[in-house]
Structures are given as structure tokens and as C-alpha cells.
Structure 1
Amino acid sequence: MSYLQFPRLAFSGQFQSDVSTVNNDPRHYDNATFEPRFQEYQQAGADGRTKTYNGWWHPTGTAIMRFANCQVTSLRGPSGILVTNPAQDPLLSCSVGNAIGKPSGKMVDLDPDWQLASSIYGLAVSLLKPDGTPLMTADYQSNPFRDLWFSRAQSQGDSAASAIFQSVLINIQWHLDGFDSPLLARLIELSEQDRLSIRLSTYGYSTDYSDPGFGYGTVLGAIGPAYLGQPRSFILGRRFMPTTQQHNDLASQNGIGCFSSWLDQDTASLQVDLSNALPLDSRYQVVALPSLQYAVLHNEWTAQDAEIGPDDYTAIAGVDTSQALQDQQAGIQSVPLTEEQLRLANQPLPLAIVQPVGVEGRAVVCVREALLGNEVRAEDFAIRLDPNNPDRNHQHTHIYAARYGQPLAGAALAFWAGAPMLDYSDTPADKTQGTTPRALLPVNNVPNAAIRISPAEPITDQAGRATVTLHGPESFGTPREYMDGQLFTITYNLAGSDPALQQPFDNFAVVVFSSFPQPGQDIDLDNPRWEDVQPILQQYANLYPVMSQGLFDFSKQAVADASAFIMRFVFDKPIEDPDQMPVTRDLSASKRRMLINYFQNVIDRTGKTFDRQRMYGKRCPLRQSAPPSEADIAATRGSLSTSKSRKGNDA
């Protein structure tokens, strides 16, 4: 929650997410039924509607994720005073950039069947002086987005979606010689374990090939101190949760989504993160809303949409629904409270946003805190388990519980495994006969009870936190056949009759890798043959034409062997490294071991070195492919709105 505390800096600009969309459809993983057209742009029929999805709207994506044209826009010092004049702090003349001398980060889905928790790997964050020299360089600790909201904007497909990335910056290096920033000095002093808290709100992503901003979107960022004992990936505070839906998203009747706030006792203020909360028009500007107020409801059972009288609530302040708040303060409103307002807000009573109606102080409750102020959220929720590596076949995580922003001690937690489900969302069907991929749809959440959680009935401690461990099976088959492993979804919440209302995708999503080799497979992991590694390399050559057609086709033995040094180099990278191969991070330990050993054996046999592979000198050049036709472009704008397309999905 630290980025909502003081001091903090806000920035805004653009992000580039050059996603590849061939692997959005899990059926494209089937080597036996893969067709060359799956590497081409989607096509439209004569009526302007999609005739065939092919490789969807961006088959030649490179997977990069990076900042573009991001400027520090405002500061709030330790006391919360807003600073926007560079004369008061030179940090306001600085920009936010990427890695210095390193490759760009990568956007990665957890799994093709779960494109609802995309992570950023290998992203570096820098603060740059006006001359481009760094004040700070740091690494973004990989973490998936949360609060994915598909229909926030009045547009279609991925362009309508919005989400929040929250994590911490680590490995921070400061270069402050001759640079006198009061805010940075205090920020460094307050942050614990040499970490900073960061939040990125992303929206307005363009999937229109004809748009000059294709592949870019808007990012609003905030950086603040990081403190021990606080979650790094979400705000454990006062959580506003709509109880109605719009287009399958939780949103109030006037279009307000779920969001978090923090009651700051030290500065007697309410810090409200509206960066992912307010509806947007087709230009990605905040929709004009009527006059709204923050309030404390006097009755904790008052429902959303209820009309209440002046004795039913205490107004606190007006809600800033301006575009200026988004642009200048990264969408975070700082609301000062009187002594009486702070006292009332500290009572076990819900905060709300209300809309005054008529006269005599009557109002309608637009959105309020979850019932009883309950909040339950897991720190790590997108998880990979690998039976091929005992050290990676379990993962610890923390589940936090709070009531009206205070830790909820002694709370019992419960878990519910997801039912078997076909992935209809990511497997659209073409109306023209013979154009839909022929592979069978994958079925998730089978076999039952594959994942064990310990303790099975955890209880939160005095800090409102329970530590749980997810365990994978000792061995695992191939229930999805042509895809490695399986996807499992597990819901968690308070046990008993008063659960917390949660955002729809706020559950555990777990991928369990298949054991490799499977029984009956004659494969020596230390001395593999070409026919052992070729199916894996073929799959990645199919899924990433930017590599196989733009760099080199490593599905062919002569090409792969000639590139043995660089292939071993990228397969041996750790998961956090942006150069790791495969970019989807979906390779089990045993398959990775086999590939590394294969290419090492080639190196030992042939003496291939990096110097002999100068073809790799240019990083991922794009193949020369014809752009989509006008009909294709028209279809791109809206064709995927009929399927569950994703915000910044897949790398």
C-alpha cells in the first residue's frame, strides 16, 4: 500500500506492449494441426466482419514492454503538500524511462488458458534528468496485473480494458551527485530494505494497425516508500466494491469500478486511488459525472443504490472526477480530514461515494466499501508448479484479511477448487467452414484435487495474515494433450457466512507442468537427440513468427545447430531475465535441462561460439510481411469484441 503514503511522485505518459497474438489461441499450440495462416494477420470478409482469425490482430509482436514519453507530473512531500513547480524540486523536470544498456521488459501471460494475470518480466525503471542521465535505476519485481476491467472505456476489445500493476522496485542504484531533490532525499530515508513501492495503471491500448499509436497505451504511475509488513501487490486498506455488473465487470450504475483507498492517520487524510476506477469515453478521457461526495455511512447495512437522508451519512469532501487529477496526480486524490471526520472514519462504518439528489441533503449511494468492510486478498496468486523440480513444486504465499482497513486476526480461511471448464473464451470460431483451428478445445481444472494447500484451514495471525503453501503433485500427466501441464483455478475467502466481495479474477490461478519424460518415452535428458527437442522448438517457431521468420527458424536442425551458442544462452537465463527463452515462461525444468544439454553437446562437438553467430547481432528484426487490408483493419477495430479479448495479453 506504500505508494499511497507520503512522500510520493506521480508520472504519466505511454507504455508500449508489443504483444504477440498467435499464442492467444491455445489451439495454436497443437503442432499436428498448426497451419501457416496462423502466423498471418486476421482477415475480413466482404461484409467487413472477420472471416478468419488467423494469428489474430498482431502475429508479429516481439513481446516487449516499456515506457514511452513518461514525465514526472507532481510530488507530494512527507506532509502531503502538493508540489507541481520545478523551482521547488528539480525532480519535476525529470522523466521516467527504461533500462540503461539492457533489453526491454517482456509482457507474459500465466497461461494461454488464463490471460487474466499478465506479468511483466525484466522491466527496468529509471528516473532521468532532462539531459537523459540517470538519477535512479531499479528493477521492477515481476508481478501480474490486478483489477482487470474489460469495459472501462467506450471502445471495443482490448482497447476498452484497464488494469493495475502494483509491485516494488528492487536493486535500486542512486546517482544524486549535484542533484538536490528534497522529495528523493526523504523517500530514500523512509524506504525499508532499499525498496520502493510502485503502481502502474494502464489503459487505452491500441490494437488498430492503422493507428500511429498501434501497440501503445496510457500509463499513470506512482512511486512511494516501501515498508515491511505491507503487501507489495495490492492495497490492504479501505476497499470500495460495486455490487452490480456492467458487461460482466463489477461496476456501479454510473460506471464506477472497484478501487482501494488508505486512511492515513499521520496526516489525517484519505488517499483514494481513482486511476482505475472512473469510466472513460472513446478518447480515454474521464466521462463527465455528476457531483459526487465521499461520505461515511451511519448504518453498515446501507446498500449500494439506496436513497438516504441527511441523518444517514456524513459528507467528507467532493470526489475529484477531473481528467486533471489523472494527468497530474496519477489519479490519486488526497482528501484532508477534520478531527471529527477522522474519528468517524475510524469507526466500523463503511466509506462510500454518494450522489446528492434533490434538496434537504438526500443522496444516493453510488458505491461503498464491501459489506462489513471485509477484504481478503492473496499476495502471490499467479503460480507455476513443476513436478520436475522439487524446489519449484511448491510455493508459499500470504493471504491478508482486513475489516474496515484494520487487520482481521483469528479469521478462518477456506478454499474451493474450480470445476472442469472448456476454454471457450480464448478459442473463437470462424463462421466460414474450415477456417477454425482443428485442435480440440482444452479442458481446465482436471484432474480434480491435483493441488494441495497447507494448512487446509489456515487462521490469520495478529497482523491479519496467514501463510499458506500450494503443493503440486509428485508426477503429472498431459490432460491438455498438446499443451504442457494444466491450469487450475482456486477460490479463497473467509470461511463462514460473511465472505468478502472480491474482484472476479481475484483467485489463485495455478499452472502445473507435465512430468517429462512421460512414462514410455525413451528420452535421455543429458544426451537428447534432435527428434527429442524438435517438437518443443517447432511449437515456439509456430507461436513466434517474429523469431522463426524474422530471426532464424530454430525448428530446423541445421539452423538450430548453427545457432547453438545463442540458443543455449537464452534457455539458461533465469525467469526474471527479459532475454529468457521461451518468452512465455512455460517450459518445465526438465525440458529446459534437455534443451540446454542438447545445445551444449552441439557446442562441444562443433566448437560453435558467439563470434561465429553474428546473425544474432540484430535483436529480433521483423519479417517483411504485407500489412492488413482496409477490410482487415476495420475488422481489427471490433471483431474481437465478441470474444474475451485481453488487455495487454500474451507475450
Structure 2
Amino acid sequence: MIYVNQLGSVVWCILAVTQGIAGFDKAEWIRNASTHEPENSHSYLDWPRIHFSGTFWFDSPTGNNLCENYDIKTFDDRFRDDPSILGWNPEGSGCFQLLDCKVTSVCYTNGDCSTHRRTDRLIGTPVFSNVDRPEAKIADIDTAYIAVPTIFGLSLHVPGAFSGKFVEAPMSNSYHKTSKREHSGHLGADFYSLLVDVDWHGEDESHSHLVKEMKQLSLQNEVQNVLSVKFNLDNFEAFSKSGKFGTGRIVGSIGVAGPAEPLHGLRHRQMHPPSSNKRFGIANFRLFTTRGKILIDLGNSLPYNEQGFPDPDVTQTLQLAYPLHQPTQFLNCDTEVVILDEINYSSNLWYEDTAGIITVPSTTTLTFNQIKEVSERPLFIRQLNNISRECEMIVLSERLDGLAVGFMGDRVFRQDPGDSWKVDAFLVKFGHPFEGIPLEIETAKSVKKKHMYSRCGKGLHVPFNQPPTAVHFTDVANSNQNGIAVFEFVGYNPDNPREIIDGQIYLYEISVHGQDTLTSSLPIVIFLYNSFEVSPGGPTWHRDIYPIFKMYSNMFPSMNNIINMASYEDVCRKIWMLKMTMALSMDDPEFMPVTRDLSRRKQRAILQWLDDPKLGDIPKPSLEDLKRDLQTALELELSTIPHI
């Protein structure tokens, strides 16, 4: 295990070299999963599964939070001591690690769950991250869009059970989970992905009946030794003077990944909060017709108080229900309903023990008629007044038509001009694939309303998706018999619209043709880089490499403890270090740069230069450079004149 201070972590993060995920083909998994029916496919929202909870540590780098910091011509070394410039954690390394995590409960194939170690020896077992390898990394896609930080290079290890590598995944479903918290502590979010290259831990597995069940089920699948994992993060402490600085709570679930599972989500049913209620988040759920049960994941859906417990002042009594008659208009407290069960979440350990997953009904099973009606009517959760027991509001509800859209593979992309890629979307209606429906891609509503832009200083406000012609895509695609619609994308040179920051951000949403958007909470996000051409005769330090390395040196001062990226001499002395880390795949925890915001064209140019580190000529300053230098000199001169 690796428990080190932050400086030691930075050294370990930079110097150690590991292998990325070997033998797992994401494109092949998506193709195969797209041909399977999701109804009987396993996931973490199923039986068997385990739940775990504990603490996570994220050493967030904040030097790249301001657009202006990317400009090497105006950045001053004096800025390093100014928190308004480099943020609340300028020495951040981007490392992510689990601390003090353990298995809190297990749920067996027969539906029984237990929190007692005497029932299963797996309960209480530690859950570690990145054993014998450097810490995982979290990186935002861009300084102007921080809604999809992605985890790279994470592995999970449960001694006596299994270990596996987490397929890199973006954050999803962020909402205001806790109240009265400063900084970012009020936010909650989740990460879905697969654990691949799973290794079952020899004879020790015989001590846990749950592990035996998971292994046997996994070995029955066409692609074996793949698990499904989802964890929720909240209560992050970003106040540097706190003893818990950089830590937060993690609660999660792990089950077996079935053949129809997407990379980063569930292909089932969803309930959403009304747009006016920011204290609730999206809830996935599944109807198991043969069991007469519903599993609902409320782990990242309910409001919590400052102590991290479900907030009864906000939620009060909650009921799961469906309309007595097929609805034709929106659901409200006047809707005649069939009550399925009340949601018992009041215990202080409920969340940690269950990861927010509940079984409905809790003590009985659905009747034949209830199964039939739930299969074709929307589910919703009503909030009742604790005293009067009257309905006060609908806090979560499924769409009246039962439609849900998601992604079989990635929805967050880092692309170079000339790249082509696919977005594989799925469409389900009450949890079943919906065939023959035209889906279309459109610019995200937030972009259309001009709410999303890059803001660099006083004069440069560049809206997202500009120029629109830099991204070409299939406008409309029909869902096939498995509910899958495939969209083709091609990227072109955006021609440096943001001047000092590479590339441009593009956001898109998917809707049923002619209807409202279905993926507003999970947009397609594209970071499209600018074209990059090296100097004739090959890259040189002064013209091609220094502008890139200087920027990273400015924004990530922790790097300078290891290597001065702005120094030709120091870089040349440590070429071996850069060759090792910059040639790795992006999903490797030791890939450089940690921020993963370097285009592949620039990466290739750097690797080419490292093989032949030519110094080259210093470029002549442009007229604009001379004007800027003169302006800076005048400002410095005036600032030194004493006031009379």
C-alpha cells in the first residue's frame, strides 16, 4: 500500500512507470454489448454484489483553473504565491487514492443481504486502490468545462476476493447533494465503469460464499472476468486549513458485468428530479419480473445534511408509486397511485451499508398485475409530510413515455483534426430496446443559450462550438432492433479560436427527432485540438518545445521539484524520464502530462524532439510581442514612481 505525504506522492506519481490496461478492447466490448438484450444482463444493480465505503483523497491541481495562466508571455513567476492566480492547491499532483475503505455488506444471488462478518468473511475486508503501482489520476477535459473530470489508471483490490483495472471513466450526475457546505463540499457525483483484467485471489476466495457466486457467474459470460462498478463521491473538503483537506467520502457497489452492459452506465430505466428541484439526482432502477422485485439506486439521488446523512428535513417520508391509470399528462400529488413501498433511509448507516440501493417491495414480492403495470407505466417517488401523511411533491419520476437514452461507450472525447470516431447511443422504453426511432444530435441547450464559453481576461469571450464547421457528424440515426443508434463524427481544425488555449470545446445532446432532449444531463463532450505543425527540419526547443513545456512549468509548480520544464539544460539531463512517461497510453496512471490536455500531434513532436533535442534559433518577436513588452515595461516604471 502507498500512504505518503503529498511531495512523496508527486515524486511517485512522476517517476514510476506502469502498464495500462492490457488485453481489453473497448470498441470490441461496445460492439458485442450492442448485440445483447439488456433485460437479463448483470451489473452492479443486481445480485450478487458487494457494497463498500470509506474516504478518498484527491490532490487537485488548480494552476490550470484560470484561462490566463496558459499565456506564457504574460505569466509572471511572482504569480506562484498568489492563490487568486494558481488557486487553492497550486502544488496539486492530480493523484486519486482510496483511504480506509472497506466492504460494508454483501448481497447474494438469492437476494439476501448481510452486514455481519460472521455471515461472510468478506465483510470488513479493506478495499485498496492501486496496490504496488502509482496512484490514479483525475483530469478535467478543459479549464472552461470542468463537469466531466475523468479517472485514469485506477485499479481496485479486495484482498481474498479480487483485483481489477478500472476502465477510465468521466464523472456523471453532479448535483447539490449536501446543504450548507462551503467550497465544493456540497456537490455529489458518481462514476460508472468496468473492472477488467480481474484476478480472483486463489484459495482465499473459498472463505467467502459471495466471491464464489461472483466468480462462477462471471465465468459463465462470453467475456469472462469483467465486473461492474459504480461509486459516489461527496463531502469533498477543499478548505486548505482543514485537517481533512483534499479528502471526501466514497461509497460504492461492485457486481458482475453482463454481456449487454455499457462501459459507463446502465441500460435500464431512470427517474429524474423536476428541473426546479436541485437537491435530488438521477436514480437508475431495474424491474426483475421473475423475482417480483425492483432495485433502485438512490446512492447519488437524495439530499444529505452536513454530517453526511440523508436529510430528513428535506426528504421526510418517501414512497415509491406508479399511476393507477396510464397517465396522459405530468405526474403530481393529485395523480391516483398504487403505492409499492416506503423508502426506509433514516438509519445513519443506511447509506454506507447499502450504497443507497434499495429493494422494493422490501418484505414481499410484486403481484402478477403489479409486474405487468410497472412494466408499462412510469414509476415515481412522492414526498409525504411526516405528520399529515399528505403528498407534498414529486421528487423523482420516470418519463411518461418511459424513454431513456444513454451511451454504450464513451461520450467524452479528446480528438485531433482529421480524427473520426463514433458515438454509440442506446434507446430503451420502460427498460426494453426501442427499435426504429430516429434519434438526432443537436447543439447543447446551454451552448445555444450562450451560457457556455471560454473567458480569458477582459477581452476574450469565446462561445463553445465555434466554429461549428470544425465538427461534422451524422444528424439523425435510427435505433436498430437492439435500440442502438450509431453516430459518425469527424473533426477538423478549429483554427485556434481561443488564442492562448489549444483547441475548442463542443457540447452536443441527443433527442428523439422532433421532441425534447433526452441527454441534457449527460452531453457529448469533445475537446478538439488545433492543428500543430513542427518547424521545417524537425522540432527544436525554442520554436516548438519550449512554448509547451513552459506553460506546464508555470501552472504545475510541483513538477519543478522533479524537473524544470522551462530549462533546456534540465530537460536534456532528464530526457529518459520524459521518454518513459510521455510514450505511455493515456489510461496509464503515469502518463504525462497529468492533465491529459496535450494533443497527440504535440505529443508526437515532443517524442521526436526527445530523440534529437535540437536547440534551434530563438524566434524573432512579433510586433504584438514588442507592444506587449513595452506596455509591461511602462507599467513597471510607473509603479515604481513614488507618490507625492
TM-score of the two chains, using structure 1 as the length reference: 0.81
Matched, 1:315 2:339: yes
2:127 aligns to what?
96
**1:597 counterpart residue number:** 608
| CA shift for structure 1 position 96 | 0.7
Is the partner of 1:396 in helix, strand or coil?
A: strand
Deviations along 1:20-78, one digit per CA (max 9) or x if unpaired, are 01112222111122233543352xxxxxxxxxx22121111110011111010001001
Residue type matched to 1:276 in 2? Answer: N
* Whole-Å separation in 2 of the counterparts to 1:169 and 1:344: 34
**Equivalences for 1:75-114 in 2 at 5 Å?**
75-114=106-145
Alignment check: 8 A CA contact 2:322 2:377 kept: yes
Distance 2:507 2:352 in 1: 36
Q: Structure 2 vs 1, CA of residues 460 and 38 (structure 1 numbering), >3 Å: closer, same or farther?
A: farther
**2:364 equivalent to 1:352:** no
Give the aligned partner of residue 512 of structure 2.
494
1:159 aligns to what? Answer: 185
Which amino acid in 2 is paired with 1:512?
L
Pick from 530, 544, 555: which aligns with 1:514?
Answer: 530
How far residue 236 of structure 1 moved from its aligned partner, in angstroms, is: 2.4
Matched, 1:451 2:480: no
SS across alignment from 2:470: coil
CA contact (8 A) 1:108 1:118 kept: yes
Q: How does 1:468-547 map to 2 (within 5 A)?
A: 468-473=487-492, 475-497=493-515, 499=516, 501-502=518-519, 504-517=520-533, 522-525=535-538, 527-547=539-559
Match of 1:641 in 2: none
Distance 1:553 1:183, change over 3 A: same
Distance change (3 Å), C-alpha of 1:346 and 1:545: same
Alignment coverage as a number of residue pairs: 559
For the residues of structure 1 that align with 2:322 and 2:498, how far apart are their CA atoms? 50
Say which is worse superposed, 13-22 or 436-445, in terms of deviation.
436-445
Check the 8 A contact 2:190/2:300 in 1, yes or no. Answer: yes
2:491 & 2:470 partners in 1: Cα distance?
Answer: 7
Shift of 1:590: 1.8
Q: Is the 8 A contact 1:158 1:205 kept in 2?
A: yes
The answer to whether the Cα contact below 8 Å between 2:321 and 2:381 also exists between their aligned partners in 1 is: yes
Is the Cα contact below 8 Å between 2:137 and 2:589 reproduced in 1? Answer: yes
Code of the aligned partner of 2:63: V
After TM superposition, the structure 1 = structure 2 runs for residues 71-150 of structure 1, keeping only pairs within 5 Å, are 71-129=102-160, 135-150=161-176
CA gap of 1:421–1:113, structure 2 versus 1, over 3 A, is: farther
Match of 1:630 in 2: none
Moved over 6 A (4+): 302-305, 358-363, 420-426
How far 1:281 moved relative to its partner? 1.4
- Percent of aligned pairs with the same amino acid: 23
- The alignment partner of 1:315 has SS state of strand
Out of 440-449 and 98-107, give the one that drifted further. 440-449
Q: Which residue of 2 aligns with 1:414?
A: 440
Amino acid at match of 2:77: P
8 Å CA contact retained: 1:30, 1:439: no
The one-letter code sitting in structure 2 at the alignment partner of 1:346 is V
Match of 1:184, SS state, is helix
Deviations 1:576-632 (A, max 9, x none): 1111111111212221111112222249xxxxxxxxxxxxxxxxxxxxxxxxxxxxx
Report how far residue 334 of structure 1 moved.
1.6
| Offset of residue 325 of structure 1 | 2.1
Q: How does 1:269-308 map to 2 (within 5 A)?
A: 269-288=293-312, 289-301=315-327, 306-308=332-334
SS of alignment partner, residue 591 of structure 1: helix
Q: Which residue of 2 aligns with 1:564?
A: 575
In the TM superposition, residue 245 of structure 1 has moved relative to its aligned partner by 2.4
- Mapped to 2, the partners of 1:360 and 1:547 lie a distance apart of 59
1:187 maps to what in 2? 214
Tell me which amino acid in the other structure corresponds to 1:168: L
- The corresponding residue for 1:326 is 351
Alpha-carbon distance, 1:179 to partner: 3.6
Contact 2:416 2:601 in 1 (8 A): no
Task: Tell me how far apart the structure 1 counterparts of residues 81 and 92 of structure 2 sit (CA, whole Å).
Answer: 12
Superposed, 1:627-642 pairs within 5 Å as: none
Distance 1:523 1:128 in 2: 55
Q: Is residue 200–residue 215 contact of structure 2 (8 Å, CA) maintained in 1?
A: no
Task: Say which SS state the counterpart of residue 473 (structure 2) adopts.
Answer: strand
For residue 209 of structure 2, what is the amino acid of its counterpart? Answer: P
Amino acid at match of 2:466: V
Q: Output aligned runs, 1:421-440, within 5 Å.
A: 440=460
Instruction: For residue 552 of structure 1, report the CA deviation from its aligned partner.
Output: 2.3
How many Å separate the matches in 2 of 1:425 and 1:210? 32
Structure 2, gaps ≥5 residues long: 1-41, 615-644
1:620 is aligned to none
Q: Kindly provide the amino acid, as one letter, of the partner of residue 398 in structure 1.
A: D
C-alpha separation in 2, matches of 1:60 and 1:441: 28
Structure 2 SS opposite 1:598: helix
CA distance in 2, matches of 1:207, 1:562: 36
2:266 corresponds to which residue?
235
**What SS does structure 2 have at the residue aligned with 1:292?**
strand
Alignment counterpart, residue 28 of structure 1, candidates 69, 76, 79: 69
Aligned residue in 1 for 2:563: 552
Q: 1:438, CA displacement in angstroms?
A: 6.4
Alignment match of 2:598 (pick from 564, 568, 587): 587
- 1:523 is displaced (CA, Å) by 4.2
2:333–2:382 CA contact under 8 A, matched in 1 = no
State the 1:472 CA deviation.
0.9
Write the distance in 2 (CA, Å) between the matches of 1:103 and 1:128.
18
Whole-Å separation in 2 of the counterparts to 1:426 and 1:286: 36
Query: Is 1:376 aligned with 2:405?
Result: yes
Structure 1 contact 325–332 (Cα < 8 Å) conserved: no
Which residue identity is paired with 1:257? G
SS at match of 1:92: coil
What SS is found at the alignment partner of 1:5? coil
Contact 2:176 2:280 (C-alpha < 8 Å) held by counterparts: no
Q: Which residue of 2 aligns with 1:649?
A: none
CA distances 1:455-492 after superposition (whole Å, capped 9, x unpaired): x321111111112222112x442111111111111121
**Deviation at residue 304 of structure 1 after TM alignment:** 6.3
**Residue type of the alignment partner of 2:355:** A
Distance 1:8 1:342, change over 3 A: farther
In 2, Cα distance between equivalents of 1:412 and 1:461: 10
Q: Deviation per CA, 1:528-576, whole angstroms, max 9, x where unpaired?
A: 344320000001111111112x222111111111111101211111111
TM-score, with length taken from structure 2: 0.82
Deviation at 1:338, TM superposition (A): 2.2
Corresponding residue of 2:47:
6
Partner letter of residue 59 of structure 2? Answer: D
One-letter code aligned to 1:183: L
Which residue identity does 2:497 align to in structure 1?
Answer: P
Residue number in structure 1 paired with 2:638: none
What is the Cα deviation at residue 149 of structure 1? 1.0
Letter in 2 for 1:381: R
Q: Alignment partner of 2:64: what SS?
A: helix
The superposition leaves residues 297-354 of structure 1 with CA deviations (integer Å, 9 ceiling, x where unpaired) of: 1245476672226xx1111111122342211111111223322464244342111112
State yes or no: 1:170 paired with 2:196: yes
Look up the SS of the partner of 1:242 in the other structure. Answer: coil
Secondary structure (helix, strand or coil) at the match of 2:501 reads: coil
Please say if residues 102 and 126 of structure 2, whose CA atoms lie closer than 8 Å, have aligned partners that are also in contact.
Answer: yes
- Taking a change above 3 Å as real, the CA distance of residues 304 and 153 of structure 1, as seen in their structure-2 partners, is farther
Equivalent pair of 1:71/1:96 in contact (CA under 8 Å): yes
1:461 is aligned to 2:502:
no
- Kept in 1, the 8 Å contact 2:205–2:211? The answer is no
Aligned partner letter, 2:535: D
Which stretch shifts more, 160-169 or 589-598?
A: 589-598
Is residue 50–residue 255 contact of structure 2 (8 Å, CA) maintained in 1? yes
Q: Which segment is superposed worse, 259-268 or 20-29?
A: 259-268
1:259 maps to which residue? Answer: 283
1:478 aligned partner, one-letter code: N
Using the alignment, how far apart are the partners of 1:19 and 1:280 within structure 2?
A: 24
